Amino acid sequence: RLIVHVPLIVPPGCALRVGAETREWREGEALIFDDSFEHEAWNRSDAPRVVLIFEIWRPELNEQERRAVTNMYEAIHAFAPS
């Protein structure tokens, strides 16, 4: 799966790091990343940040692989709910 961030309200000082790459959010510009890589996001301002977040399938996965990934994430969430 891939994670999509669509920044809606972005004060200065907000960014996302995936692996060794850091990107500042820009309102209305989507960032897509694989969250199996180490990642972190921050808001270093005093103002609220609003980001629409959703998941999409990696295009190279077939239906059987998608089911396997779904089962894996369901097992992870059942073991350690967030």
Q: What pLDDT score does 81 carry?
A: 63
Spatial distance between the Cα atoms of 44 and 14, rounded to a whole number of angstroms: 6
Asked if 6 contacts 28 with a C-beta cutoff of 8 angstroms, the reply is yes
Q: What pLDDT score does 73 carry?
A: 84
User: In this predicted model, what pLDDT tens digit does every residue of 48-75 receive, in sequence order?
Assistant: 999 999 999 989 999 999 999 889 889 9
User: Is the entire prediction scored with pTM above 0.95?
Assistant: no
Q: Is 41 exposed, middle or buried (0-12, 13-18, 19+ CB in 10 A)?
A: middle
Q: What pLDDT score does 82 carry?
A: 58
